[in-house]
Amino acid sequence: MKVYTGGGDKGQTSLFSGERVAKHNVRIDAYGDLDELSSLLGAIAALLPPGEAELGQDLITAQRHLFSAGAWLATTPGATVEKHLQPFAEVEAKELESRIDALSAQLPELRTFIVPGGAPAAAWAHVGRTVCRRAERKLTLLMEAEKRQDDPRLMAIQVYLNRLSDYLFVAARYLNKVLGQGDTPVKG
């Protein structure tokens, strides 16, 4: 099977539900950000220090959730293929909250803004956090453009992205601590 088809050479691409749309379509932009974020999570996982298997599993789980969310975004509302999609509910965000709490319990209380950076894995977690926030913004743009602000599936994805950005912030702080970097306050 060839990786290239040439089907997108004229600036159009196919949605999961079969329609062809411009590659700059807000829907493509929204799930493209999820794909970028998933790739960043893979890069962070590759940089994790030994002994951080649980953090690595968190990242793989998040990549799987992002793939599922992307499938929803790549499907036109009401398309028959929706029945094949994995449901996306707020339970995924709740799972992230418990992981945020577990990591936060191992960190000193944050009393100031911090500069993103530190050890490579932590720095990339900060980059992932910002890409996650962008993905959230694009999702809300899509929801507004399609007048779907009350769609429970998209709302669950929005909540998940909000929690994932929080998780990545805490994970960056945790990684800096584990790797001996600590937080760098904005004001020194």
Q: Is 121 exposed, middle or buried (0-12, 13-18, 19+ CB in 10 A)?
A: buried
What are the backbone angles phi and psi of residue 57, rounded to the nearest 5°? -65, -40
* Res 133: pLDDT: 98
Helix (H, G, I), strand (E, B) or coil at 111: coil
Contact indicator for 128, 175 with CB cutoff of 8 Å: no
Domains of the chain as residue ranges with CATH: 26-178 (1.20.1200.10)
User: Residue 73: which residues within 8 A CB-CB, separation 6 or more?
Assistant: 27, 30, 31, 34, 139, 142, 157
Distance in angstroms (rounded) separating the CA atoms of residues 2 and 46: 28
Strand partners, 20: 14
Q: Classify 56 in phi/psi space as left (phi over 0), alpha (psi -120 to 50) or beta.
A: alpha
Is pTM, for the whole model, over 0.85?
Answer: yes
| Three-class DSSP labels, 16-70 | CCCCEEECCCHHHHHHHHHHHHHHHHHHHHHHCCCCCHHHHHHHHHHHHHHHHHH
Distance in angstroms (rounded) separating the CA atoms of residues 7 and 63: 27
* Res 86: pLDDT: 86
What is the residue-level pLDDT of the chain in tens, covering all 188 positions?
788 888 788 888 888 887 888 888 999 999 999 999 999 999 999 999 999 999 999 999 999 999 999 999 999 888 999 888 988 888 999 999 999 999 999 999 999 999 999 999 999 999 999 999 999 999 999 999 999 999 999 999 999 999 999 999 999 999 999 999 989 999 86
CA end-to-end distance (rounded Å), the chain: 56
Contact indicator for 58, 29 with CB cutoff of 8 Å: no
